[in-house]
Structure 1
Amino acid sequence: MAIDRGLLAILKAKPGKGDDLGAFLKQGRELAAQEEGTVTWYAFRLDEVTYGIFDTFESEEARQAHVSGQIPAALQEVSSDLLAEAADIRPIDVLAVK
């Protein structure tokens, strides 16, 4: 299994919405578990208002299926309520994995 691509999303919560954003991300785990092509999916918190998602894929098709899937759609639905600014979502190349 060659895991060589991923996505990194950085999310900034609106003031007072950090806990809500964290709870939303925890719920995302269930959706990610249903995605056959998503190898790993992590939600994390950097500070009171900065959160993120890091996920990995074995193929570009799997990454594109994720981008077109339920998690980004759900994030779009709650973004005006929870996010202070647009999510910074970047495709990444995985250089090494253990």
Structure 2
Amino acid sequence: MKLFAPIEHPRDIRCKLGLNQQAFWSAIGVTQSGGSRYEAGRNMPKPTRELLRLVHIEQIDLAKIKHEDLAIVAYLAESHPDLYKSLRSAVKGQQVKTEGEQAAV
């Protein structure tokens, strides 16, 4: 999913994950009633959309990310773009492999 791309159907994402509105929306700091409005079609602010994407689509545990980690990634991408791209490709390949193994179980 592209950064800042609209999320057309947050309810579909929530249902696919098997979460109720309270659990789904509170994970990104949105009230159940606010989330209900987004599911009904109200425009979602970009920060909320990105939190939804990171937490529920990318499955990133935001509690484990430190500012220093983000600084390292930014430094690596800027200073050593070839190494960054190589590492990124390796991680994506590992994720695909892991997903394939989980599907086989």
Q: Give the TM-score, by structure 1 length.
A: 0.30
Where is the helix percentage greater, Structure 1 or Structure 2? 2
Q: Which has the greater radius of gyration? A: 2
Q: Give the TM-score, by structure 2 length.
A: 0.28
Higher relative contact order (CA 8 A, sep 6+): 1
Where is the strand percentage greater, Structure 1 or Structure 2? 1
